[in-house]
Structure 1
Amino acid sequence: MFPLLEDGSRDAPELEMILEEVVAARTLGGSIGTKIKALKLPNLCQQNSDALVLALFKSELLDLETFELPTILADQPPAFYRQFIREHCPALRHLVLPVCSIANDDGEMACNFIRGIAELKTIRGIVPCIELGSPSMSHVIHTTLESHARTLETMEFERGDMIRSGDQQAILGSCVQLRRLWLDRQHNSKPEGGLQLQDILSGAWACLGLRELCLTLDHTINEQVVLEAMRREALVSTDGNTGRNAIKQGDPVRPENEGAEQDKDKDKDKDKDKDKQNHRAFAWAAKRAYSQIGRLVNLQVLAIGVFESDPSSEDTSHAEWDLTLSKGWLAQLTELKNLRELHLRTNMWAKMGQAEVEFMDAQWPFLSSITFSPDRKLQGLVDQPHWRWLRERRPNLRYHCD
């Protein structure tokens, strides 16, 4: 069987020898194409010319399903690879993108590989640590969605919290077959960004069959965008109320009426009203964000955290109330009846108490694992009465620290 090339297991001369054997086999009318299901070429960077790679692909890798794209010194224009992959690797379904393949040439080489695949089901990789919302990463995401939104089942990126918020929403809003979306932060690091609440308001998620989700929410909001969304919802309300009443109904907090109490001291009360309006706009947006998650009734694994707008701050109090019943939106997750694993990031467990664990026990019958992050002494945490109560109710429940 033709050997699977693992990263670091071959140097350039050995790779050239293997490719020479491939060419010789083709000359004799043979092919190695039916022997390879997965291929990972060594990332030689300065030595991996596309002549070497093309020689391998020309052996008709008819059964190749998984490929890790190396750095290639291209002698051909990137668009050449689109037709080349389509012709020589018709069964390719799973693509791995190391960070260099995304960062180089604005991701154009990676994009043409993506376009050449007939039906992409899995894409994995590492987001370039260049800047939040990297244009090359955005280019890769857009290309993937344009070509494969209806076939993609798994999308997994380390440093996925650095993907532009609008791109994260586009994934959730268009990938109807998606089963796993794992946009994780780099291990043991704080989130660098996340999915902004106002972007979640832009449309309903299409991936209702999702089973595994890792997501960071960005609490930063554009107040005007959120208020406009609230007004639109009020206008389409069918309860016959005015816009003001429609906005108020069903939510504990809502925006101030625009013309209210004009007799107040304008300077002082304007600031107060502004703060109240911002808080109420945030609460309205957050409730709808968690409602989107709550619609994912097939979800089995949920890892969730909140982006800290000041990365140097140790204050995570803004995230600690999110998954509570009194001041947060835990109730929006009632329908996650299939949930088995819960990963609580950025201290989202800190304000939970007896009411929250009773909710978990009543609403999530299959819950068997809770992971707490950031790392702390697990013993001290799970010895708290409410966590101890939950484990007594669920003897098979396991607690972990990440």
Structure 2
Amino acid sequence: MSTSSTTSIFDLPPVVDTICRYLRRRDYPKVSLVNTAFYHACKRYIWRKLVFQHTNDNEAITDEHQRTLCANALWIHELTVDKICTPLMCLTTSPTFCENLESLECDLEHESSPYAAALAMFVRRGIKISNLTLKTRDDDPQNNDEGRPLNIYGLTLLLPFLPPALKNISVKTAGRFGAMDLLLLLASLPASVERFTYHESFTQCRDLLDSSSFLRGLNLRWQAVYPNLKELEFSEFHQLNLASVLLPLLRKCPLLERLGLPIIPGHDLPSIAEVLRDSCPKLNALTIIGYLEEDELLPVIEALPRLASLDLPIDTPTLGVFVSRMRAKWSSTLTSLTFGAGAILESSDIQLLLTSCPRLVTFWMCPHGEGKRPWTISPHYSPLNLSDLAQSEWTCLGLEELCIIFHDERVEQDTLEQHLEQEQRTREWIRQAYTQLGKLKKLETLHLGWGRPFREGVDGDSLAIHKPGPLVLMDFSMASGLALLKDLESLRQLSLDNMARISVGTEELEWIHQMWPHARISGLDKSSTDWLQVQRFSVNI
């Protein structure tokens, strides 16, 4: 007599792996108890992302922890180590080491710490990571002297052994990265790197120092060429003028597509522009940071034949000539355009862009912070006259993200009759504005704001200069034409500034809830927000 055994579908590895792939991280420990197949499948996801943080002496890694770590090193794909060396030393002794490691995030310490040596030994062991993130802090009391290098020891140990397959390098610092550190890193990028990002959130402003003074005495061995570098981005860097470093670096990047410039003095921009024109023919995305005059920006415009994305988070007194030249060169290629809160644009300039750039997908006229109104960021915000919008026809009907601040064009009237006529005219413009916005059927993110013109010596919030009578804002009501936005079926985020404070009632809230049940709405008053939250909760139940 023969016996047969029945195999459960949950014992089949492909089925189990597919199930485990979509589980939440907190569910893996419980699901791993189902059977052996689930245990082995869950193990690779439990160990996929590992974080080691600095512990005190009472929480030291035991021998059992080390054996478990070595046994599961094969499954680690993302590793974060924060000022702790024992796990790194342990992993270097693992038979399988970290064969599947893709991303490493680590911090660099000052001077000759055991951690820096362990990190260098770990990298030297032959990891094949493609993503490296370097974090640094400025909490070492020895680092009070601004001229003192911060992380030279750890960095010099690490640089010779950067993996040859490395594609992405990021530097994240809540403090400041030493000038020599940054120069050493830029001069040592492996030929495989495709993206270098430097992000600094250190807010203490300093006068820019010339980077050439730091180059003296450093034996920097720059690569002959960086054939794969496509993205080079810097956040605002307050300490060092990197023009003298960027010039030789940009000459070695023939495939560069995206560039985020740090603060560069205006007199150095013509040199940067010349190198971009001659050495970076594929550049299509540009971010310029700083406080620049319009004529200082023009050399860059003249140097670049075409751009798809332009981001100007800068303060510039005027941008009229800049916009006219930019529109002539890039109107057929621009897909993303951002102007900072301090950029001064005439309504006609904004209108020129919206009516002559048919490929625009993202247009941010005034980036804003959470809970901030545009005129509190800078009194010279960029307004768009409501009448201009109402009387024009946009060509960029494929917009997916739009941030637009309307200008209050009304002026003080001598009589109540004149004032009421003006308010009626404003109501008609508002309805026509909603008609325009309703044509943007692909819109996913919409930020609407309503501002008042800046007047020297007058608080922007106190410009109630009108005679008594109904005060019409760019309100968010059915009567003003809210229903004209019914075709915005893709809308996922809606933000309102200085709007909908007096006009949103139950009818509008019911319409919003029905039309955009999954959208995030901000800017409504508390009672409206509470109403939406209650309704959505009831629907979910």
**TM-score, normalised on structure 1?**
0.68
What is the aligned partner in structure 1 of residue 350 from structure 2? 168
Q: Distance in 2 between matches of 1:308 and 1:383?
A: 29
CA distance in 1, matches of 2:168, 2:533: 52
The Cα shift of 1:277 comes to 2.4
- SS of the residue corresponding to residue 396 of structure 2 reads coil
**Aligned positions of 1:76-91 closer than 5 A:** 79=270, 81-91=272-282
Q: CA deviation at 1:351?
A: 2.2
Deviations, residues 75-107 of structure 1 (Å, cap 9, x unaligned): 77x555544312201121111121x1xx33x14
Counterpart of 1:97 in structure 2 is 288
1:75–1:50: structure 2 CA closer, same or farther, 3 Å change rule?
farther
Residues of 2 paired with 1:90 and 1:277: CA distance? 55
Query: Measured at CA, do residues 6 and 173 of structure 1 come closer, stay the same or move farther in structure 2, by a change above 3 Å?
Result: farther
- Report the counterpart of residue 227 of structure 1 in structure 2: none
Matched, 1:333 2:485: yes
Deviation at 1:222, TM superposition (A): 7.5
User: Is contact 1:86–1:117 with CA below 8 Å preserved after alignment?
Assistant: yes
SS at match of 1:312: helix
| Structure 2 partner of 1:275 | 419
Q: Sort the Cα spacing of 1:2 and 1:185 in 2 relative to 1 into closer, same or farther, 3 A.
A: closer
CA change 1:68–1:358 in 2 (3 A) is: same
Q: Secondary structure at the match of 2:461?
A: coil
In structure 2, the gaps of 5 or more residues are 1-165, 190-219, 376-380, 454-458, 465-469
Amino acid at match of 1:382: T
- Contact 1:357 1:390 (C-alpha < 8 Å) held by counterparts: no
Cα 1:394–1:171 change in 2 (3 A) is farther
Distance 1:357 1:41, change over 3 A: closer
2:467 aligned residue: none
The Cα of 1:314 is off from its aligned counterpart by: 10
Partner in structure 2 of residue 345 of structure 1: 497
CA contact (8 A) 1:37 1:65 kept: yes
* Deviation for aligned residue 1:17: 5.2
Aligned to 1:157: 339
Is the counterpart of residue 189 in structure 1 residue 372 in structure 2? yes
Task: Name the CA shift for 1:54/1:2 in 2 (closer, same or farther; >3 Å).
Answer: farther
Aligned partner of 1:311 among 460, 476, 480: 460
- Any conservation in 1 of the 2:390–2:436 contact (CA below 8 Å)? no
| Residue matched to 1:239 | none
Task: Say what the alpha-carbon RMSD is for the aligned residues.
Answer: 3.7
Alignment of 1:212-223 (within 5 A): 212-221=401-410
Q: Give the direction of change, closer, same or farther, for the CA distance of 1:73–1:85 in structure 2 (3 Å limit).
A: same
C-alpha distance in structure 2 between counterparts of 1:388 and 1:200, whole Å: 33
Q: Which residue of 2 aligns with 1:67?
A: 259
Structure 1 SS opposite 2:540: coil
Equivalent residue number for residue 124 of structure 1: 311
CA distance in 2, matches of 1:162, 1:354: 38
What letter matches 1:52 in structure 2?
V
Instruction: Pick one of 347, 353, 358 that aligns with 2:510.
Output: 358
Structure 1 residues 393 and 124, CA gap change in structure 2 (3 angstroms) = farther
Letter aligned with residue 530 of structure 2: D
CA contact (8 A) 1:5 1:39 kept: no
Whole-Å Cα distance in 2 between the matches of residues 322 and 73 of structure 1? 43
| 8 Å Cα contact 2:338-2:365 kept in structure 1 | yes
Residue 190 of structure 1 aligns with an amino acid whose one-letter code is: R
* Gap change, CA 1:75 and 1:12, over 3 Å in 2: farther
How far did 1:213 drift? 1.0
Residue 52 in 1 paired to residue 245 in 2?
yes
Q: In 2, Cα distance between the equivalents of 1:46 and 1:321?
A: 43
Report whether the alignment pairs 1:198 with 2:380: no
Q: Deviations over 1:28-49 (max 9, x none)?
A: xx312x1322113576678536
Cα 1:283/1:19, change in 2 over 3 Å? closer
Structure 1 Cα separation of the partners of residues 350 and 245 of structure 2: 36
Q: Contact 1:5 / 1:42 at 8 angstroms: preserved in 2?
A: no
Q: 2:536 matched to 1:391?
A: yes
User: Is 1:301 equivalent to 2:488 in the alignment?
Assistant: no
Match of 2:520 in 1: 369
Aligned length: 327
**Secondary structure of the structure 1 residue equivalent to 2:241:** coil
Shift of 1:208: 0.3
Which residue identity does 1:209 align to in structure 2? G
Larger Rg belongs to: 2
Q: SS state of the match for residue 213, structure 1?
A: strand
Deviations 1:239-276, CA, capped at 9 Å, x for gaps: xxxxxxxxxxxxxxxxxxxxxxxxxxxxxxx8344223
Structure 2 residue identity aligned to 1:85: L
Letter in 2 for 1:144: M
Per-residue deviation, 1:122: 1.2
Distance 1:4 1:382, change over 3 A: closer
Return the alpha-carbon distance in structure 2 between the equivalents of residues 292 and 144 of structure 1: 24
1:204, distance to aligned residue in structure 2 (A):
0.9
Residue identity opposite 1:148 in structure 2: W
Residues of 1 paired with 2:229 and 2:417: CA distance? 65
